[in-house]
Amino acid sequence: MSDILFTLIQSVVTFFIVNIFALAKLGIINGGIPLFAAAAVIWFLAVNIAPTLSAQPDKRLKRLHNGTRLLTVFMLSVTASAAMLIYMIAADTSLKTILINSLIVYLSELVIFLNGTVRVYLTSVQMGIKWRLIGAVCGMIPIVNIGVLIRTIHISGREFRTEREKLLLDRSRADERLCATKYPLLMVHGVFFRDLKLFNYWGRVPETLERNGARIFYGNQQSAASVEESAKELTARIKQIVEESGCEKVNIIAHSKGGLDSRYAISCLGADKYVATLTTVNTPHRGCQFAEYLLNKVSPSVCQSVADKYNFALKQLGDDKPDFISAVTDLTASRCAALNEICSDSPHVFYQSVGSKSLNAAGGQFPLNMSYHLVKHFDGDNDGLVSVDSMKWGEKFTLLTPNGKRGITHGDVIDLNRENIDGFDVREFYVGLVRELKEKGF
């Protein structure tokens, strides 16, 4: 039985159950009232405990599917109950019957609604903070709450279908080990972030790559430091991985400033002996003119004040010696030009780069939606932070340009917000990227 048909059947039966008092009073149900009432209670409990019976490839998806089903049943059955109420009024049904039935309907539908909402809110990733807040604020506003409910069902239902397809796809091709490269992957984060177990910088990408055979390590460098200092940390990390795993070399995939750190480690600190490939993702190889402009315009005292606050906060989160100003300075156009002079590409390493661009400020989340126009003024087409021209490096450059009006931001390209974007499957993109490295013998 199709999911849509089963939902419709559940909605119709639920309508009859929650309106059983009125149906009995109107003579639509004759005799056997206790039996009908007992069956109604059993059905109501069953629907709320296990709205769906089909097996799912993941427990979270099962809960999300159940929540979406409950909200859909609520929307359809409460609409039918509203029509029932209008019919009862038009049929001159006694006020007592109307009031008692309305109370039963209200309490029953409230249980279904809250049950579905809690399940969706606790399991959905795509809802985000935005739609959770909208739902909480607009839930009691007539008419508006209907639109919010429809939107919630659309988001959660689409997320369930998309994630289910992804899991089933990965399971179907698991034996192919598409991402089982000769050398393991070393994923290097950008500036102002750390590699944390509870919140992966690369979103859902590493899990997908591992399901397809990849072996992954992380750079673990501090969040903010000069390119040289970060490169020293990264070089030590690469040597540690090689020594402990015996893998000989690594394939680096580095985002943003992490690409500059990796290039410096390879070119100036001897890491080239342990690196097979370097793939930079939205890295400002030629720097950011807007960063240079800001550093020149903002007073040194203001810069130092911001830096002190940032450095203090990051020390609490584990950084030994965060250096906000050095990190930002090394992202300027003039500093990157100087770095490019001393960071010659190693003939023993395969270099390639990936870039993306936003199509408007609204496509990005804070602060990328704020910086987009400033970067565009100084640097041209950009991802909210880095210009497309600055991202190009190596033998191959791939520019990601999905259909639609949104584009792909600096955060989207690493799945930072775990957002499913129309026309761009970030997880599948990385599967293809790593698969190509495997096919090249890396």
3-class SS of residue 254: strand
Q: Are 240 and 210 in contact (CB under 8 A)?
A: no
CATH code of 435's domain: 3.40.50.1820
Final residue before a domain boundary, out of 169, 192, 216: 169
Distance CA 66, CA 163 (A): 15
The pair of three-digit structure tokens given for residue 234, joined into one six-digit string = 């990264």
Count CB atoms within 10 A of the CB of residue 59. Answer: 9
> Tell me, what's the pLDDT at 176?
96
Same-domain pairing of 345 and 430: yes
DSSP string of 52-110, one letter each residue? --S--SSHHHHHHHHHHHHHHHHHHHHHHHHHHHHHHHHTT--HHHHHHHHHHHHHHHH
> Tell me, what's the pLDDT at 314?
83
pLDDT in tens, 385-427: 999 999 999 999 999 987 778 899 999 999 999 999 988 999 9
Q: What is the number of domains present in the chain?
A: 2
> Tell me, what's the pLDDT at 37?
77
Whole-angstrom CA distances from 243 to 56, 187, 195, 210, 231 are 41, 18, 21, 22, 18
> Tell me, what's the pLDDT at 403?
75
Same-domain pairing of 183 and 146: no
Same-domain pairing of 348 and 259: yes
Same-domain pairing of 272 and 405: yes
Domain enclosing residue 128, as ranges: 3-169
Final residue before a domain boundary, out of 120, 152, 169: 169
Helix (H), strand (E) at residue 353:
strand 350-356
> Tell me, what's the pLDDT at 418?
93
Whole-angstrom CA distances from 192 to 196, 267, 313, 328, 355 are 12, 24, 11, 10, 20
pLDDT-flagged residues of the chain (< 50): none
Sign (positive/negative) of CA torsion 45, 48, 54, 57? negative
Whole-angstrom CA distances from 167 to 60, 143, 154, 162, 315 are 12, 37, 20, 9, 38
Size (the chain), residues? 442
Same-domain pairing of 272 and 381: yes
> Tell me, what's the pLDDT at 275?
98
Rounded to the nearest 10°, the torsion over CA 93, 98, 100, 104 is 130
Same-domain pairing of 147 and 183: no
Same-domain pairing of 297 and 160: no
Same-domain pairing of 195 and 77: no
Using alpha carbons only, how large is the chain's radius of gyration in Å?
Answer: 28
Q: How many CA atoms lie within 13 A of 193 on its CB side?
A: 24
Residue 261 phi, psi dihedral angles, 5° rounding? -60, -45
Same-domain pairing of 199 and 338: yes
Same-domain pairing of 214 and 288: yes
Same-domain pairing of 392 and 301: yes
Distance CA 103, CA 109 (A): 10
> Tell me, what's the pLDDT at 1?
55
Q: Read off the pTM.
A: 0.89
Final residue before a domain boundary, out of 138, 169, 200: 169
Sign (positive/negative) of CA torsion 189, 194, 200, 206? positive
The residue type at 19: N
Long-range contacts formed by 51-58: CB under 8 A, 24+ apart: 51/10, 51/116, 52/6, 54/3, 56/164, 57/164, 57/167, 57/168, 57/171, 58/163, 58/164, 58/167
Distance CA 306, CA 302 (A): 6
Please list, residue by residue across 300-329, b when 16 or more beta carbons sit within 10 angstroms of its beta carbon and e when fewer do: eeebeeebeebbeebeeeebeebbbbbbbb
Distance CA 288, CA 285 (A): 9
Q: Is 248 left (phi over 0), alpha (psi -120 to 50) or beta?
A: left
- Which candidate, 272, 250, 290, places its Cα nearest to that of 387? 290
Distance CA 368, CA 411 (A): 8
Same-domain pairing of 195 and 123: no
